[in-house]
A and B are shown apart, each in its own frame.
Chain A
Amino acid sequence: MDMATFAQVLDSTLRLATPLLFACLAGLISERAGIFDIGLEGKMLAAAFLAAAIAFVSGNVWLGVLAGIAVSVCMSLIHGVASITFRGNQLISGVAINFLAAGITVVIAQRWFQQGGRTPSLTGDARMAPLELPFAEALADVPVLGPVYGIFSGHALLVYVAFLCVPATWFLLFRTRFGLRLRAVGENPAAVDTAGISVIGMRYGAVAICGVLCGLAGAYLSTGLSAGFVKDMSAGRGYIALAAMIFAKWRPWHAMGAVLLFGLLEAVANRFQSIEIMGLALPIQVMQALPYILTVVILAGFVGRAIPPRAGGSPYVKEH
């Protein structure tokens, strides 16, 4: 593999890891507060559709992103009402959101654009423009440093936002009052309640943040990574993000490592249609299945003991 190919693979690793990273951090914050969220996938999909649709109609990608965030937050709040206020089963509520998103996006897209459940292709300002980092041009010809810097340059704004979200999430969780309370509410809500803090308020806060991040993931998917929405375009990324979150044991920096690994696999699968190992040609399907296979392997026990937040999945009922 030559240098240029290598750089290309790494370059696309960053882009492919971006939606995973947003979704992974979204799930991390929600689950740290004790709300399991299997509905990352659905929220991402809904956000992807509305972001693309609004971007196409308005011609402004950022209006699209806002619309994506809005729909994702709305769905998060539905999950919140079902699982926090009405103490419903969090898995069922999440699955319902996934079904809802998978169906309704295609139906609305077909009715709206009549292109077989997709949005028209986005061009110009309706798509996210690459952002050249300063000095990228000047450094391009410098050996080693140039190509390496080149990998990091030229991505959409949301890619940088995603990676900045990692230290931001870490800081929020471990260095702020909000983070302390959020972690506590996922471990022992009774402790939070007796300290005079609203358990329900904290959990809604976490779920709302989760919605914003999922919205960014979806919007990037349809306006940054691709140019438009197609049916089921989230393609299981919400579940892979959940796997990455467990792999990372609910820690932000580790989450970044995990999604980069998944991103790399996807990038390799995209770049090399077939690979020969010891004279045996692996068909393209094997490569494409790799991230999913890895998910299974990781969840089946590669992680060691992953201890989820102790109050995860259970609604808070006041008792003592």
Chain B
Amino acid sequence: MTATTDQAARQETAAPSVPAIELRGISKAFGSVQANKDISITVQRGTIHGIVGENGAGKSTLMSILYGFYKADSGEVFINGARTEIPDSLAAIRAGIGMVFQHFKLVENFSVLENVILGAEDSALLGPSRKRARGVLKQLAADFELEVDPDTLIENLSVGHQQRVEILKALYREADILILDEPTGVLTPSEADHLFRILRGLKEQGKTIVLITHKLREIMDVTDAVSVMRRGEIVATRPTADTSATELAELMVGRKVLLRVEKTKAQPGDEVLRLDGLRLVDAQGVERLRKIGFSIRAGEILGIAGVAGNGQSELLEVLAGLREAEGQAWLRGEPLPLSGPECNGQARRAARIAHVPEDRHRRGLVLPFHAWENTALGYHHDPRYNPNPWRMDGAAIVADTAAKMERFDVRPPDPQLPAEGFSGGNQQKIVLAREIEYGPDLLLVGQPTRGVDIGAIEFIHQRLIELRDAGAAVLLISVELDEILSLADRILVMFDGRIMGERMADATDARELGLLMAGMEQA
């Protein structure tokens, strides 16, 4: 009861013309890096405002300032027309700001109810808070399609439901302004649609929503206005109706980009790899791969779509020789061991299978090592690097690395820089150069453009297609459906360790794949 009257009061005090959020001249530097430069944005009350930009453009920093995680070096924040200091999260909550982080801030083994009241308890004893929260949750569920069982533990909820809990937390604290940071990264397309319905419902109730994303399609679908950030600055703010995805992409990157990959039709050749009855049970006894079988031919890109955690990562690791599994595999007609001493990364590379791992920080690179050392990783037996059995020729590796950096447009092209000194996109290019330049018959590639900016995405996609056209088989695993759809020739969808279906890329769409990704047999 108090919730509704408070809200009504708050809405009355703020005249409709007063913007919900106004930032004036916000700047923030981390050491020598200027994350935010003199940023001014106005977000109108009762609208959905998108903020787009590449990784590292400063979106998250800006929102963290608004939520009291960081303190701006200079600039002012106005909430509902009043100048507001936000030194910490508590102040942000008091100002009516709620934040849904990309990585949820939930206590996994607490119930939904406990997570919702944490930090917003009514009194020293929990009893009354629990009771009130139960009622409020029921009301919110009815108002905004936000149904979640209050007594379920978070760890037993799907990612989509966990996100609902985050939204419920904000609404329980009577937030008027909701900030969502990359909310759809972990959702299936249908879950994302549901989220957007919720957001539209909230907007109709007069809430203000800030949506941070790098997915232009979402911006075009759901926002009323959009601001584009590039290198810490706002480069443009437009009503969504007056702009297009192409224009936004160009504003983000600062030059013309191709959103669709240009490629010719695949010319599949001989079968390179065949799998049959691939099965993997992990240490906890959970079956991660359930009798998987498929084949991939030279000159095609086979995409594997699926929501993260449905067995794709395990499949990639098994094929790369990093994990043992049951079942049979044939490479170019010869049996390929899936367990035993012959199953390791070195043997796979000798068999001309290259691997670009999903997690380049953990598996793809040794971050503190120089770029040239990383370039030799896994290929350190290359005779060019080893003039005799006793000596490794560092200079030869450095020279080779410099040449690869040149061909793959790695910036800065400095073989002596440690891997951690490169941006995400350039790190990925170093890994790709290493794996592609040996001319593999089969390239296994996981999440090739995760954390990579648009310019580098374009480059990486072109390289994968060139590799295909040169007659290699490419197995592409990605949780980005757009990437799978534009890059792959043939698509398999994985759900719960199974292959749910196979589609040709030119004869399917996101909706159909989305249903398969959610485990629906008949899409």
Contacts and interface: CB of A to CB of B under 8 A. Distances in A.
A191 B106 CA distance: 5
A250 to B, nearest CB: 11
A187 B127 contact: no
Interface residues of A, number: 22
A192 to B, nearest CB: 7
Interface stretch (B87-95, B203-211, B471-479, B493-501): B87-95
Contacts of A318: 69
Nearest to A184: B107
A143 interface: no
B350 interface: no
A193 B93 CA distance: 12
Given A191-B105, A191-B115, A318-B69, A184 B110 contact: yes
Contacts of B99: 194
B108 A178 contact: no
B89 A196 contact: yes
Contact of A196 (B90, B108, B110, B114): B90
A23 to B, nearest CB: 25
B121 A180 contact: yes
A197 B89 CA distance: 8
Interface in A124-182: 175-181
Nearest to B169: A195
A190 interface: yes
Contacts of B117: 180
A111 interface: no
A188 interface: yes
Given A175-B127, A177-B123, A177-B126, A187 B108 contact: yes
A310 interface: yes
B126 A180 contact: yes
B127 A188 contact: no
Interface in A42-60: none
Given A195-B89, A196-B88, A320-B64, A176 B107 contact: no
A192 B89 CA distance: 10
B119 interface: yes
Contacts of A177: 121, 123-126, 129
Q: Which of A175, A179, A183, A188 has the most CB of B within 10 A?
A: A188
Contact of A192 (B88, B109, B118): B118
B89 A194 contact: yes
Contacts of A181: 118-119
A192 B88 CA distance: 12
Contacts of A175: 125-127
Interface in B452-467: none
Given A177-B129, A187-B108, A191-B106, 7 more contacts: A176-B125, A180-B121, A187-B107, A195-B89, A310-B109, A320-B60, A320-B64
16 contacts: A177-B121, A179-B126, A180-B114, A181-B118, A184-B118, A187-B109, A187-B110, A188-B107, A188-B108, A194-B67, A196-B90, A196-B91, A196-B92, A197-B90, A320-B69, A320-B101
Q: Return the 4 tightest CB-CB contacts between A and B, nearest first.
A: A195-B119, A196-B90, A177-B121, A191-B105
Interface of B: 60, 64, 67, 69, 88-93, 99, 101-103, 105-110, 114-115, 117-121, 123-127, 129, 169
